[in-house]
Amino acid sequence: MERTGKEVNWETLQELIREDEFDAFRDEFLELHPYDQAAFFMEQPEEVRFRIYTFLSPEEMADIMENIDLEDIEPFVTEMDPRFAAMSVSEMSTDDAVDILNELDKDVVVSFLTMMDDEAADEVKELLHYEEKTAGSIMTTEYVAIYKTETVINTLRQLRKDAPDAETIYYLYVIDVDKRLVGVLSLRDLIIADDNVLISDVMSEKIVSVSVAEDQEDVAQMMRDYDFLAVPVVDFQHHLLGIITVDDIMDVMDEEASEDYSKLAGVSEMDRPNDSAFISARKRLPWLVILLFLGMLTASLIGRFEETLNQVAVLAIFIPLIAGMGGNTGTQALAVAVRGIATGDYGKQGKAKLVFREAATGLINGLVCGVLITIVIYLWKGEFFLGLLVGLSILATLIVATLAGALVPIIMDKFNIDPAVASGPFITTINDIISILIYFGMANAFMNFLL
């Protein structure tokens, strides 16, 4: 098979490392995009990575580290020479440096801060004290702030000086003498304005900002709604503290999606590629133990209807069918509700509308499935009342299960509990219990006809 250009390039880089061709490796490697550099670096064995550390500067290593997923970064940072690692972290954007340090043990963080450049260490310390998953923890302090009393020409001069160290210059944030945020100015508006005009005359006072303590998921939702490239972060007195850029929000959205998916799958946190079987089991076991006991509750409920089963043994055939249908429809409603709550598509009225819609959906689906199974069982077993029993059980189960799938996450959200905790396995097991009660309750009502 013909090899791709990437494979050939990687082989060349590996050969240059083996032959200790310092300059040739740097020329070839630094031509790659930082993302491709990170991909190559992560694929190498430990002894090759140690050679790469000697070939690159801390600044070049910082570009690579910024392109490695946070959940994978710790082994690489801790295997480096501590001083080299600290110098590399110093060269990173402040918010990225904070994200990486939050993945490390506290004693390692303290050691790094001691060895880092004083200015960089101070900026990192300023962000480290903010609570995780808040706007303060993901913001950067590398932005351009301008005073409203400055002229356009003076601001352009300042921008030329400050732009190299800023994470973005598409928005300029206007502050007063007390460093309160009073306006925002786009780079485009600044460039086309007359030189001697005051910033206060060309800025926009319609500012959308976020509180430093606001949840990162809410910030992501707001930036998605407004299509912002960046948003300012302020304290309770409206002092400008930092900005959050779209690249950080993309990381937040990926993190929140992975977290919600893991909860929906009944896992405390998602498995990583390098996790051992023991670690993977530890992450999955808590929910399995909970579901095991819930399953025992289901089994005990069936045991209570043992006499009913002894009289009409054929009822046992349809237990998996009834329970499975309840679990499936409940999971569908759960997915719709959790996504709607997470994206903010449903307000208070929207949630009520969602519940009524899901109840109607459960009714329609239950009627269709109930009629079909009644006909199938009648043709199969020749028992009309048995088919009617199963059909009515499915109708009632689908209505109740759909409502449960929609209501449980809404109730959890009302009590400030992550709706994703109402995981698929959890709601499925709950609906198993509900469906068993409905099925055998109706079976007892139909008993005279069945006998």
Q: Which CATH superfamily is domain 5-129 in?
A: MgtE N-terminal domain-like (1.25.60.10)
Which one is predicted more confidently, 340 or 224?
A: 224
SS3 of 288, please? Answer: helix
CB atoms within 10 A of CB 370: 22
Q: What are phi and psi of 231, to 5 degrees?
A: -140, 135
Alpha-carbon distance of 382 to 322, in angstroms, equals 20
Topology annotation, domain 145-261: CBS-domain (3.10.580)
Q: Can you say how many angstroms the Cα of residue 209 is from the centroid of all Cα atoms in its chain?
A: 22
Helix (H) or strand (E) holding 184: strand 181-186
Residue 422 has pLDDT above 70, yes or no: no
Q: What percent of the chain stands above pLDDT 70?
A: 88
Which one is predicted more confidently, 5 or 356?
A: 356
Mean pLDDT of the chain: 84
Domain ranges of the chain: 5-129, 145-261, 277-450
SS3 of 23, please? Answer: helix
The confidence score (pLDDT) of residue 128 equals 85
Torsion of CA 381, 385, 387, 391, to 10 degrees: -170
Whole-prediction pTM = 0.62
The model's pLDDT over 44-96, given as tens digits with 9 standing for 90+, comes to 999 999 999 999 999 999 999 999 988 788 889 999 999 999 999 999 988 88
The confidence score (pLDDT) of residue 266 equals 55
Amino acid present at 60? E
The model's pLDDT over 111-170, given as tens digits with 9 standing for 90+, comes to 898 999 888 888 888 888 888 889 998 898 888 999 999 999 999 999 998 888 888 888
Which one is predicted more confidently, 287 or 55?
A: 55
For 132-135, the CB contacts below 8 A with 24+ separation are: 132/102, 133/215, 133/216, 133/217, 134/212, 134/213, 134/214, 134/215, 134/216, 135/210, 135/211, 135/212, 135/213, 135/214, 135/215, 135/216, 135/219, 135/233, 135/244
The confidence score (pLDDT) of residue 4 equals 45
Across the chain, which distance is largest between two alpha carbons, in Å?
A: 96
Token code pair at residue 446: 């139909």
- Beta strands 171-175; 145-147: pairing state: parallel
**What are the residues whose beta carbons fall under 8 Å from the beta carbon of 157, sequence distance 6 or more?**
none
Topology annotation, domain 277-450: Tetracycline Repressor; domain 2 (1.10.357)
Q: Indicate the pLDDT class of residue 181, thresholds 50, 70 and 90.
A: very high
- The whole-number average pLDDT for the span 233-242 is 92
CB atoms within 10 A of CB 6: 12
Length of the chain: 451
439 in Cβ contact with 322 (< 8 Å) = yes
Of the candidates 210, 227, 216, the one whose C-alpha atom is nearest the C-alpha of residue 259 is: 216
